Amino acid sequence: MQYVNLSDVRGHMLSELENDVATNKAYSSNRLTEQGKKTWVKLLEDAIRSHSDEWLAQQLLQQGLLLQYESKKKPTGGFTQAKVPVNAHEMLAEGEFNRFYIRGVCIEAISRGDDNVIVYRAKEVGNPRPESAAKIGKRVPPRQLLEDLRNSIGTDTALGLPQGPNSGLSVKLA
């Protein structure tokens, strides 16, 4: 993804991650192996400090930190084993890196006295969802978005940002 304000917000991203760790709010995907759960936060921290979501995705893949199968509920009850999607490493890395990036942009906007951040497409997608396309260019209050993300660890946010896996949406400074 193309994070237009990344160099301005890495420090804020790191502070947000450190706060999540200190308050036991750091997200850990159920798709991570035991070793993946042990190293996830450190890898995310390294990506935030000096790399990217792409680097993080490659680390997950190269180090074999994702499960090959996961339990899924069957419509008739019970569970079945399903293969983890081949792009799970990218979805996890992009999704979490972007959430911290957005939090960092919001903190930077607040520190500058900006009333809004702007939604933009940070990654081109083959078939954009209409609800994602409708958000591009929208102005969002940074305090509200920051609180939404802080309170929605590992779940969808009330404001719908980011829009979910592979939406390609992020925010930038106004």
pLDDT of residue 158: 58
Q: Is residue 15 part of a domain?
A: yes
In a domain, 1, yes or no: no
Please report whether residue 128 resides in a domain. yes
Q: What pLDDT is recorded for position 166?
A: 72
Domain ranges, residue 117: 6-173
Would 119 be classed as within a structural domain? yes
CB atoms inside a 10 Å sphere around CB 80: 10
Is residue 32 domain-resident?
A: yes
Q: DSSP letter at 32?
A: B
Quote the pLDDT of residue 128: 77
Whether 139 maps to a domain, the answer reads yes
Q: Does residue 29 fall inside a structural domain? A: yes
Q: What's the gap between Cα 81 and its chain centre? A: 26
Whole-number pLDDT of residue 153: 80
Supply the DSSP symbol for 166.
Answer: T
Given this model, what pLDDT does residue 160 score? 64
* Strand 139-140 to 117-121 pairing: antiparallel
Domain count, the chain: 1
Regions of the chain where pLDDT drops below 70: 155-165
Tell me the Ramachandran region of residue 154: left when phi exceeds 0, alpha when psi lies from -120 to 50, beta otherwise.
left
pLDDT value of residue 1: 94
Asked whether residue 112 is domain-assigned, the answer is: yes
